[in-house]
Amino acid sequence: MEDLSRFDAIVDLFLAGRLPRMNHARHLAVANVLLRFPHGRELMHLGLQVTATRAGFPEKYDRAVTDSYWEKLTGTLPSLEDFADVLGASDPRNPATKNVAAPQHRCHAP
């Protein structure tokens, strides 16, 4: 099975209904990741239903719409750069901080 662990934080936030900046493009990016998971379609339904419910609009969730888009997915994995806002600054998977040197800490004698 393919190692998709680099997307764990993204999937976890999505399934909790807490993935920020949810728009159509981000939905599709997450869906292309979940397409590679066992039971990915069910996970997509769950994440969208939780997201809509937490936002206070459970009626916005439509299983049929999700299924129609699911059939059109390419399975192309998104770049982690698309989720740089989600991956914390200290997360080594965050491409925004990949080449940033770690801060140097100095001890000062009293």
- pLDDT value at position 105? 39
- pLDDT value at position 36? 95
Residues comprising the chain, all counted: 110
* Residue 108 predicted with pLDDT over 60: no
Complete DSSP assignment for the chain:
----GGGHHHHHHHHTT--SS--HHHHHHHHHHHTTSTTHHHHHHHHHHHHHHHTT-GGG--HHHHHHHHTT---PPPPGGGGTTTS-TT-TT-GGGTTPPPPPP-----
Q: Note the pLDDT tens digit of each residue in 66-96.
A: 999 999 999 999 999 999 988 875 555 555 5
Q: Note the pLDDT tens digit of each residue in 1-60.
A: 689 999 999 999 999 999 999 899 999 999 999 999 999 999 999 999 999 999 999 999
pTM of the model: 0.78
